[in-house]
Chains A and B, each alone.
Chain A
Amino acid sequence: MRVALFATCLGDTLFPEAVKATAVLLTRLGQEVVFPPGQTCCGQMHVNTGYQADALPLVRNYTADFADESIDAVVAPSGSCVGSIRHQHEIVAERYGDRSLRERVERAGAKTYELSEFLVDVLGVTDVGARFPHRVTYHPTCHSLRMLRVGDKPLRLLEQVREIDLVELPRAEECCGFGGTFALKNSETSTAMLSDKMRAVTTTGAEFCSAGDSSCLMHIGGGLSRLRTGTGTVHLAEILASTEQRFRSEEEVSA
């Protein structure tokens, strides 16, 4: 399949390791991975903060690259961005767009997948040949869970990883308190939610908290780092792309 990578603005700019891992993993699984260079951002932040008119150019830009028929599927290592593409782009297109935009939104949205969905539902794999010799707990993230309904797909993938010590996260399905601009507008409530999530993570004794969304990991990781808990974060894609030689080391060596 010809699979286009949607890096997401956050992944491209701040968390490139998760996107690199996605590119390498999909290639290793035999897909022809392309990166349409015109891509930028899905506009989720604008829609979720109330700025739908400002999301319109971003929706248009997304469909310009990804509605193209040469692309069989779009994969993004982010549940919330895929949720926005599949559920919010049509709201913006309905309100501000013309018929052709609505059609492109529908076409692009229908073939856009979150990573674990693509692996399990489209490629039909759960064992991607990964090895990750660490104690890991998994936070399922709200939009993957309740907007995309990915269910236990990420866990089924993680269970097949060699040498991983996967521990269950207490109250896993509860929000970490990120919520985009919620973390700024209601920063104290967000912090209260974060502190409970961090307590759940640290009680597992895990070295890493993993998730399928860099934004939630930025939040949880930002708190864990501030308190010097000694627990790190790692994107699901990075675990799945890890093999005998730790994937991250390639960048460290070359940099």
Chain B
Amino acid sequence: MSSAFLGFPTPPPRAPYATGHLRGDQSFPEAAHTALDDTQQRRNLGKATATIRGKRDQVADELPDWEELRSAGSALKADVLARLPELLERFEREVTERGGVVHWARDADEANEIVTRLVADKDSDEVLKVKSMATQEIGLNEHLGSAGISPVETDLAELIVQLGADRPSHILVPAIHRNRAEIRDIFLREMPGVDPNLDDDPVRLAEEARKYLRSKFMSTRVAISGANFGVADTGTLSVVESEGNGRMCLTMPETLITVMGIEKLVPSFTDLEVFLQLLPRSSTGERMNPYTSMWTGVTEGDGPEEFHLVLLDNGRSATLADGVGREALQCIRCSACLNVCPVYERTGGKAYGSTYPGPIGAVLTPQLAGMHESRDDPNASLPYASSLCGACYDVCPVKIDIPSLLVELRHQHVEQSRYTAEAAMMRASSLAMSSAKRFTKAQRASRLGRVLGGADGRISALPPPLNAWTSARDLPAPPKRTFREWWDSEDGREAVRAARREAERGES
């Protein structure tokens, strides 16, 4: 148990183990093994992440106050977390006063039930969906499906994923792992009324999606969205998008249901001036995304007549209870960290097994849903799915120190784990290196490794677990003398004396 819970009787519960999409069915290395062999996906991801990295760098660099915006964004989200109870109550009051109905959901199961009941009350067997991480997280589509309600994803990428019976692989562009030829095949196979002569031109593909969805926008009576921001002091909600499917869903149906994580607040309306600069530049690499919608409750004669807001916990309060790990709740889901991550670029998002992939997913998922060591939980492998290179921290618009959080979660995981062979090795090496006397003894023992080296001093095969190294890399055989032996030898002393003479010559 982490020391953060000392003196704390019952820590808030994590998200339910089996509901929603916060856990894969394989550990990260197992899932990565498959992903690394997918040549098509490797190529698609390499191209896409390089493109978007370039665009982000350009539009972030052009703002002379980018760092000041990051500092403000980071502090604003930290402030939200520090004052979350009062801000949530204020937000609830404002939404209610403007005609919205606020529901609270302890977890994914409860949120799914609330939304399904609201849809069923409208006698709707089809609902429109705006791309939303929260509803993906709780597995809302599956739950609606089991109640006989068809959810229709309206974001192009989500539609590609849904029609392809696939899983999203990126926060912003969920079908990033697919290329145009694959998308054409999916449309031809799955889209009702598609033009049989469809080619793979992105313009034609987008046109087909427009045609297919337009009639649904005109006739469907209920839509479900997520929220990018909820403004505590005004009750305003905001959805940031590109295609106009969001505007359609937020405007056309009679009933709108928004599912929002409790951490997505910003303190005041003015604070949007910070996030509306940080988010688009960090996520799509644009100065501004094509469309942003903001609404407060309901407005007569404009948009839905009924507005329901579902505030979701699902492990967020458990994350908040960790004074270190809570920083992950500052995330505004821009996905910049995915695009710069060398691990993500090669494995893709599905290897993380969660709605939240990449570096932020590796710290957020285990906190929301736990790392249940006793169940051999795949989530326990996520904090290790990083080389700690730090590229994610540099681009994060709200300055989440992801590498430090990964290190913290590794610590927590080790604390929760049973005593393993690895732990024994770590303990032994710690003991061996806790004094120079023991260390030099170990160094002498390691020199026995010289016999493993061939005539050229290369070690090419080692026993487990070090065979994971020698599967692809040589290791030099240990040298004849350690540094400290050389330092204490006559050659070492002579080398230093010679260097000192050079220094003196240089001075004179």
Contacts and interface: CB of A to CB of B under 8 A. Distances in A.
A and B touch in the complex (CB under 8 A): yes
Interface in A13-39: 13-17, 19-20, 23-25, 27-30, 33, 35, 37-39
A51 B426 contact: yes
A219 interface: yes
Contact of B430 (A17, A39, A51): A51
Interface in B239-275: none
B486 A226 contact: no
Contacts of A206: none
A180 B473 CA distance: 14
A239 B360 CA distance: 39
B193 to A, nearest CB: 41
B434 A40 contact: yes
Nearest to A225: B474
B346 A12 contact: no
A130 to B, nearest CB: 12
Contact of B496 (A12, A19, A23): A23
A38 B410 contact: no
B465 interface: yes
Nearest to A80: B388
Contact of A49 (B29, B410, B439): B410
Contacts of A48: 388, 407, 410
Contacts of A226: 460, 472-474
A221 B28 CA distance: 26
B435 A188 contact: no
B476 interface: yes
B481 interface: yes
Given A58-B434, A186-B343, A50 B411 contact: yes
B466 interface: yes
B384 A186 contact: yes
A40 B438 CA distance: 10
B449 to A, nearest CB: 9
A187 B482 contact: no
Interface residues of B, number: 74
A142 B495 CA distance: 32
A175 interface: yes
Interface in B429-477: 429-431, 433-436, 439, 443, 446, 458, 460, 465-466, 468-469, 471-476
B386 interface: yes
A7 B28 CA distance: 35
Contacts of A251: 486, 491
Contacts of A203: none
Interface stretch (A67-75, A104-112, A155-163, A189-197): A189-197
Given A48-B388, A57-B430, A186 B473 contact: no
Interface centre among A7, A13, A45 (most CB of B within 10 A): A13
Interface centre among B423, B476, B506 (most CB of A within 10 A): B476
Contacts of A186: 28-29, 32, 343, 384-385
Contacts of B343: 186, 189, 193
B29 A185 contact: yes
A51 B407 CA distance: 10
B454 to A, nearest CB: 11
Given A35-B484, A193-B387, A187 B471 contact: yes
Given A13-B482, A51-B423, A254-B491, A143 B434 contact: no
Given A182-B386, A193-B346, A50 B413 contact: yes
B384 A40 contact: no
Interface residues on A, range: 35 or more
Interface stretch (B155-163, B172-180, B497-505): B497-505
A55 interface: yes
Contact of A194 (B386, B411, B460, B472): B472
A184 B469 contact: yes
Given A28-B499, A57-B430, A225-B474, A142 B389 contact: yes
B2 to A, nearest CB: 10
Nearest to B490: A254
A95 B3 contact: yes
Contacts of A254: 491
B43 interface: no
A61 B434 contact: yes
A190 B468 CA distance: 10
A223 B430 contact: no
Nearest to A64: B435
Interface of B: 3, 28-29, 32-33, 36, 342-343, 346-347, 383-391, 393-394, 404, 407, 410-414, 422-423, 426-427, 429-431, 433-436, 439, 443, 446, 458, 460, 465-466, 468-469, 471-476, 478-484, 486-487, 491-492, 495-496, 498-500, 502-503, 506-507
28 contacts: A12-B484, A16-B483, A20-B492, A23-B487, A24-B495, A28-B502, A29-B503, A30-B507, A35-B487, A38-B436, A46-B426, A47-B411, A49-B414, A50-B414, A58-B433, A147-B390, A177-B342, A179-B389, A180-B388, A184-B465, A184-B468, A186-B32, A187-B472, A192-B346, A218-B475, A226-B474, A254-B491, A255-B481
Query: Which 6 A/B pairs are nearest by Cβ-Cβ distance?
Result: A179-B387, A222-B473, A50-B410, A146-B390, A175-B389, A57-B434
